[in-house]
Amino acid sequence: MKVFNNKGDKSTKIGFGEGLLSAGSRNKNLVALGADITSSVGMNIFTERYPERFFSLGIAEQNCVGVAAGLALAGKIPVFSTYGVFAALRTTDQIRISVCYNNLHVIIGGAHAGISVGPDGATHQALEDIAVMRVLPNMTVLSPCDAIQTKLAVEAAVEKLNSPVYIRFGREPVPNFTDENMEFNIGKSQLLHPGSDITIFSTGHLTWHTLQAAYLLEKQNISARVINIHTIKPIDEQAIVKAAKETGAILTAEEHQIFGGFGSAVAEVVVKNYPVPMDFIGMNDNFGESGKPDELMKKYGMTYENIISKAKDLLKRKK
């Protein structure tokens, strides 16, 4: 059993800012667009170093996308970020027509993703952004698991792509366990724990919970394979089909609505190629509420205990 060490809890929004600074130091065409919440999304890390490459456009998210599209057409690499509910939902029309239709290299950071935003409540908890962004043609959707991987995701989005990218990240500190030397391959999954009885596919902050679940299941003689899918679109179909064939049961875990999100993306691959029993961890058709992040995760069934319970139930359905 490979044990992943937590290097210390760190917010993925910090990883986003560090990725901007790192990529921006190598590419002078990278510019940042803010919507009045610069530090809340980690952008201050970049803007304090390169203030001349930052443009604060106020609480006008739809306008930010239009400006980003214009900058991309002018040869810049614009990065626009605000809370995910605004970055992905309030601006959907502008992203669809101005960015995706023209296939422009605009990077959109969706902060405050998931229920773990906590006290900000339902209006600010992005739980539908994966579903909206992954349906748009030309859009790449990234959902890194910790701060280090978020930094790597931003660098890859800037340096390895030339098309629209949506990067999802959160606010609360979470375990930081990715190897700094990991190569972030867009479209490829990451095997974190071997297993033969069931595969648990995770994305974002729930990846750490999934690892903890796998370790505890192993003590009960249940071998759970854990695969982190940091690229939801394009998804790693080969890894999903291989897991279905080799383990015969699949559970997905996401801090997002179970309808149309990450689990649905995995299910689309499974049903087309190798149907096996499946189940889903995520928000079950509800809005969130204000509360402490850990309490909300527990109330809405997105903890390692829930993963263990659903994995055991799923194994009963396995042929």
Q: Are strands 224-228 and 190-193 parallel, antiparallel or unpaired?
A: antiparallel
CB-based contact 87:109 (threshold 8 Å): yes
Bridge partners for 110 per DSSP: 82, 168
H/E stretch holding 148 reads helix 147-159
Give the gyration radius of the chain's Cα atoms: 19
Quick one: tokens of 17? Answer: 């800012």
Q: Are strands 107-111 and 165-168 parallel, antiparallel or unpaired?
A: parallel
Residue 61 annotated in active site: yes
Options 18, 61, 172, 255, the catalytic residue: 61
Q: 91: buried, middle or exposed (CB in 10 Å: 19+, 13-18, 0-12)?
A: buried
CA dihedral sign of residues 23, 79, 231, 315: positive
Residues in the chain, overall count: 319
Residues designated as active site: 61
